[in-house]
A and B are shown apart, each in its own frame.
Chain A
Amino acid sequence: MSVDTTAPAAVIEAVNISKSFGPVPVLFSVSMDVRPGEVHALIGENGAGKSTLMKILSGFHDPTSGQIRLDGKQTDLPPNGGAERLGVVLIHQELNLAEQMTVEENVFLGRELKSNGFLDKAAMQATVRKYLDEIGLDISPTDRISDLTIAQKQMVEIVKAVSRNARILIMDEPTAVLTEEETQVFFRQVEKLKESGVGIVFVSHKLNEVKEIADRVTILRDGQWIDTRASSDLTPDMMAQMMVGRELSDLYPPMHEADVDAELVLEVQNLRAPSVNNVSFSLRKGEILGFSGLIGSGRTAVFEAICGLTPIEAGTIRLFGRDIGPMTVAQARDLGLAYLTKDRKEKGLLLDKKMRPNLTLFALPKFVRNFRLDSKAEEDALNRAIRRFDVRSRDKEITVGKLSGGNQQKLLLAKIMECDPKIVIIDEPTRGIDVGTKQQIYHFIAALAAEGVSVVVISSEMPEIIGICHRVVVMREGHITGVLTGDHINENEIMRYAAGLKREELH
């Protein structure tokens, strides 16, 4: 461990922390410290113990052994967010804001300013406005949270933390849901926080960002502390290798040439639907077609309409050469068309159910025999899926909500593949999952295409679009602005179409 004696003393230190859940150990004697005014990134694969360590640092979990030192003194952090009073604030990935209340009400929730027994709205709004100005956020204290963008909500969380005199801010993947532009705004505000002496723990799977924003990086793997280093000594590739403990030279599988003469399996003409404006494209057998564009550009809306999740207003769809009208999700599935949602927690998996009912839910009619569910067949399917998709869990009987993000994503993929689709649309295939799992998913997608399945990949991460797709459709504001092939698939081109700087004449 690189201990720098000239550095300021740590605000919070975790010393030889171990943690077990029941008989299952998740952290083995991990140490980490956070100094005032630094960004300390915590990275590792899903299931490496990052979340557990964060929760221990913020008092949501007790360590099984080891100690937490606050300003050098051993401290038992109060549970359930009580550590906020000591200046240690955890910002959860699922933000904790009351959607129907205003910015000011949220910031002061639970410690409202009063005068003569009534709420002192003016004083609270003035205070919040001061914080908003400081952080450079262009919203009003009276705005309702539900009207804000995700990035703005995140800022409100940070304002809330700062207003509580946070000295340590622990953020769980704050950039996972942000666009690149929003991320830059976010980073500027992180810099300001640093200047004011706040220590920041930053968890992210985006290693380029870690390189950009972090001062030091701590790497965990399988619950073990691997290293803590200055980020200037590391490259994203080195970080990835330390996280997975193996060479990651082949993150993207070798690209097989797409057969340009292969039959068209899906042809969409002049599709109109909510947030979709006159969209036409086609998809060939065995092709991996990327859909790129900014968040909200209508990529998801196109496929939700095609798969029967939202109504179609106009347009024709030809599937395997046959004209078909609007379908229900079940009809689309039976025709071999399946959509895998980007929102695995809200729309993808039943978090309070076990793996088996989740796996078979989409293809459930397949498991009916004599009007009854064949539980033996379901169990066999689960065992097959666990092997095929490498789903790792402590126990086959745990509820899906307790699986790590990467394993949830693999299970969701397995659930969709259970109906053997001929066309599969994967929306944000690797959102919030670690490098190792990403690699597995990319290889899986490539293997599917090689078998003759057509895959549509909707993604906000340009490297993966560029790394695995044969052809890329770029959307902006509900329109298709460009279709790229071959050497034209690069970040520059995609960005110019996505931002509306360039536009193809399409028929």
Chain B
Amino acid sequence: MMTASDDTAAKPAKRSSIDFKTIGPAVALLILCIIGFLLNPAFVSEGNLTNLLTRSAFIGIIAVGATFVITAGGIDLSVGSMAAAISGVMIIIMNNAVETMGSGVPTVLLGCGLAIVLGIGAGWVNGALTTKGKIEAFIVTLGTMGIYRSLVTYFADGGTLSLNFDIRGTYRPVYYDTFLGLPFPVWVFIAVAICGWLLLNRTAFGRYCTAIGSNEAVARYSAINVDRVKTLTYVIQGLCVSFATIIYVPRLGSASASTGVLWELEAIAAVIIGGTVLKGGYGRIGGTILGALILTTIGNILNFTDVISNYLNGTMQGLIIIVAVFLQRSDWKLGKSK
């Protein structure tokens, strides 16, 4: 029988291990910031910090979607190509709409609406092929990754699709303007993060994602519509890609075969650094946000210093990913040995 003393004795040990897991990525980010400040005090200037947050927004928003997919035991490799394809189609449609609709807000809204429809559709295709088609998520999204990438190359005829100059003027504020001192993309990032956190941690849907990732058979026997929930995680991922694309297009006003290259890996890296388990069953939106910030901060610091070449950005990111997962694993072990 459980006694009161057992209860209190067992708890503190447990709690400290959970705390470590939760604050791990936060501590890492703080250390990175301190290193950045020591290397160059301009790192903490308002301009740089806003820039850093804005840059994090793309990967961060996509990574929020990826957190759902991975938590439910799936994987989506197609997000980078999907972003490129959606940007391409958006630009073509908006350019063609100029003649009939002009270069004002309606055209931009048309483009954005289309992006959202495309994102949801592409996500649904990934989800349906995985669940109804019973093909491994890795294979399905490897396939759609190739398809979307080649589509954007085809649309751009091997070159670059450029947004009509007048629309660019209308659309520009979505990336460059600020609201209450924060750039618009950062607000989108915050909104997506809060919605994602609520959805994963406070709703039945989030619980179902976790349950499916933890053990799909148990989920099925627990009256969960496994196929629907899994498909929805890919739809959420597609929607997040749409949001990221909508704020990305006005930045450069163009799309090409090199748009969004390797975003899928950065998004997955952000999710894993944040403490979500790659095989599913345990997801953390807060960690994902920190993971995205960590990845961007590394690149940013390297821009500020000559000690390490900027070309080694990928090396530093790779090291951080490996170290983060190593720390998580030793933490799991610590938890188990008790």
Residues on A facing B (Cβ under 8 Å): 21-24, 309, 328-330, 332-333, 339, 341, 346-353, 357, 361-362, 364-365, 367-368, 371-373, 392-398, 415
User: What B residues does A329 contact at CB under 8 A?
Assistant: 220-224
User: What A residues does B1 contact at CB under 8 A?
Assistant: 392
B333 within 8 A of A: no
How distant is the Cα of A396 from the Cα of B217 in the complex, in angstroms? Answer: 24
B303 within 8 A of A: no
Give per-residue flags for B7-30: 1 if the beta carbon is below 8 A from chain A beta carbons, else 0: 101110110000000000000000
B225 within 8 A of A: yes
A-B contact pairs, 17 of them (CB 8 A): A22-B13, A309-B221, A328-B225, A330-B224, A330-B225, A333-B223, A346-B215, A350-B215, A350-B218, A352-B281, A361-B211, A364-B208, A371-B203, A372-B198, A396-B7, A397-B14, A398-B10
B2 within 8 A of A: yes
Interface hub of B11, B214, B225 (most chain A Cβ within 10 A): B214
Known contacts A347-B217, A397-B14, A357 near B2 by CB under 8 Å: no
Known contacts A22-B10, A24-B10, A348 near B218 by CB under 8 Å: yes
Contact B220 A309 (CB under 8 A): yes
Contact B204 A23 (CB under 8 A): no
User: What A residues does B9 contact at CB under 8 A?
Assistant: 22-24
User: What A residues does B6 contact at CB under 8 A?
Assistant: 23-24, 394-395
Q: Quick one: closest A residue to B206, CB to CB?
A: A373
Q: Quick one: closest A residue to B226, CB to CB?
A: A329
Q: Quick one: closest A residue to B199, CB to CB?
A: A371
Q: Quick one: closest B residue to A333, CB to CB?
A: B223
Contacts of B196-239 to chain A: CB distance below 8 A: 198, 202-204, 207-208, 210-211, 214-215, 217-225
Contact B207 A364 (CB under 8 A): yes
User: What B residues does A364 contact at CB under 8 A?
Assistant: 204, 207-208
Closest 8 CB pairs of A and B: A329-B223, A330-B223, A23-B9, A395-B10, A361-B222, A350-B214, A347-B217, A362-B222
B338 within 8 A of A: yes
How distant is the Cα of A372 from the Cα of B10 in the complex, in angstroms? Answer: 30
User: What B residues does A21 contact at CB under 8 A?
Assistant: 338
In the assembled complex, the CB of A221 is this many whole angstroms from the nearest CB of chain B, namely 13
Contact B204 A394 (CB under 8 A): no
Contact A353 B10 (CB under 8 A): no
Q: Quick one: closest A residue to B281, CB to CB?
A: A352
Contact B203 A352 (CB under 8 A): no
In the assembled complex, the CB of B107 is this many whole angstroms from the nearest CB of chain A, namely 35
In the assembled complex, the CB of B319 is this many whole angstroms from the nearest CB of chain A, namely 29
Contact A347 B204 (CB under 8 A): no
How distant is the Cα of A468 from the Cα of B203 in the complex, in angstroms? Answer: 40
Q: Quick one: closest A residue to B6, CB to CB?
A: A394
Q: Quick one: closest B residue to A21, CB to CB?
A: B338
How distant is the Cα of A398 from the Cα of B336 in the complex, in angstroms? Answer: 11
Residues on B facing A (Cβ under 8 Å): 1-2, 6-7, 9-11, 13-14, 198, 202-204, 207-208, 210-211, 214-215, 217-225, 281-282, 338
Known contacts A352-B281, A373-B202, A394-B6, A357 near B215 by CB under 8 Å: no
Contact B225 A353 (CB under 8 A): no
Task: For B14, give its contact among A333, A339, A349, A395 (CB under 8 Å).
Answer: A395
What secondary structure prevails in chain B residues at the interface with A?
helix
User: What B residues does A398 contact at CB under 8 A?
Assistant: 10
Contact B203 A368 (CB under 8 A): yes
How distant is the Cα of A393 from the Cα of B225 in the complex, in angstroms? Answer: 31
How distant is the Cα of A367 from the Cα of B218 in the complex, in angstroms? Answer: 19
In the assembled complex, the CB of A56 is this many whole angstroms from the nearest CB of chain B, namely 16
Contact B223 A397 (CB under 8 A): no
Contact A357 B210 (CB under 8 A): yes
Interface hub of A333, A365, A395 (most chain B Cβ within 10 A): A395
Q: Quick one: closest B residue to A395, CB to CB?
A: B10
Q: Quick one: closest A residue to B208, CB to CB?
A: A364
Interface hub of A367, A371, A415 (most chain B Cβ within 10 A): A371
How distant is the Cα of A330 from the Cα of B1 in the complex, in angstroms? Answer: 35
How distant is the Cα of A396 from the Cα of B224 in the complex, in angstroms? Answer: 25
In the assembled complex, the CB of B129 is this many whole angstroms from the nearest CB of chain A, namely 21
Contact A373 B207 (CB under 8 A): yes
User: What B residues does A339 contact at CB under 8 A?
Assistant: 221
Contact A352 B220 (CB under 8 A): no
Contact B204 A373 (CB under 8 A): yes
User: What B residues does A352 contact at CB under 8 A?
Assistant: 214, 281-282
In the assembled complex, the CB of B119 is this many whole angstroms from the nearest CB of chain A, namely 23
Task: For A350, give its contact among B7, B198, B211, B223 (CB under 8 Å).
Answer: B211
Contact B215 A351 (CB under 8 A): yes
How distant is the Cα of A339 from the Cα of B13 in the complex, in angstroms? Answer: 37
How distant is the Cα of A339 from the Cα of B221 in the complex, in angstroms? Answer: 8
How distant is the Cα of A35 from the Cα of B268 in the complex, in angstroms? Answer: 56
User: What A residues does B202 contact at CB under 8 A?
Assistant: 372-373
User: What A residues does B14 contact at CB under 8 A?
Assistant: 395, 397
How distant is the Cα of A397 from the Cα of B225 in the complex, in angstroms? Answer: 27
In the assembled complex, the CB of A341 is this many whole angstroms from the nearest CB of chain B, namely 5
Q: Quick one: closest B residue to A328, CB to CB?
A: B225
How distant is the Cα of A342 from the Cα of B10 in the complex, in angstroms? Answer: 31
Contact A368 B217 (CB under 8 A): no
Contact B211 A357 (CB under 8 A): yes
In the assembled complex, the CB of B134 is this many whole angstroms from the nearest CB of chain A, namely 15
User: What B residues does A415 contact at CB under 8 A?
Assistant: 222
Known contacts A309-B221, A357-B210, A395-B14, A22 near B204 by CB under 8 Å: no
Q: Quick one: closest A residue to B198, CB to CB?
A: A372
User: What B residues does A361 contact at CB under 8 A?
Assistant: 207, 211, 218-219, 222, 224
How distant is the Cα of A392 from the Cα of B2 in the complex, in angstroms? Answer: 7
Contact A347 B221 (CB under 8 A): yes
Q: Quick one: closest A residue to B215, CB to CB?
A: A350
User: What A residues does B210 contact at CB under 8 A?
Assistant: 353, 357
User: What A residues does B218 contact at CB under 8 A?
Assistant: 346-350, 361
In the assembled complex, the CB of B213 is this many whole angstroms from the nearest CB of chain A, namely 10
User: What A residues does B282 contact at CB under 8 A?
Assistant: 352
Q: Apart from A361-B218, A371-B203, what 17 extra A-B contacts exist at CB < 8 Å? A: A24-B6, A24-B10, A309-B220, A309-B221, A329-B221, A330-B223, A330-B224, A339-B221, A347-B215, A350-B214, A351-B215, A353-B211, A353-B214, A364-B208, A367-B204, A373-B207, A394-B6
In the assembled complex, the CB of B282 is this many whole angstroms from the nearest CB of chain A, namely 8
User: What A residues does B222 contact at CB under 8 A?
Assistant: 329, 361-362, 415
Contact B215 A365 (CB under 8 A): no
In the assembled complex, the CB of A69 is this many whole angstroms from the nearest CB of chain B, namely 26
Interface hub of B10, B217, B218 (most chain A Cβ within 10 A): B218
How distant is the Cα of A415 from the Cα of B224 in the complex, in angstroms? Answer: 14
Contact A357 B207 (CB under 8 A): yes
Q: Quick one: closest B residue to A349, CB to CB?
A: B218
How distant is the Cα of A362 from the Cα of B222 in the complex, in angstroms? Answer: 4
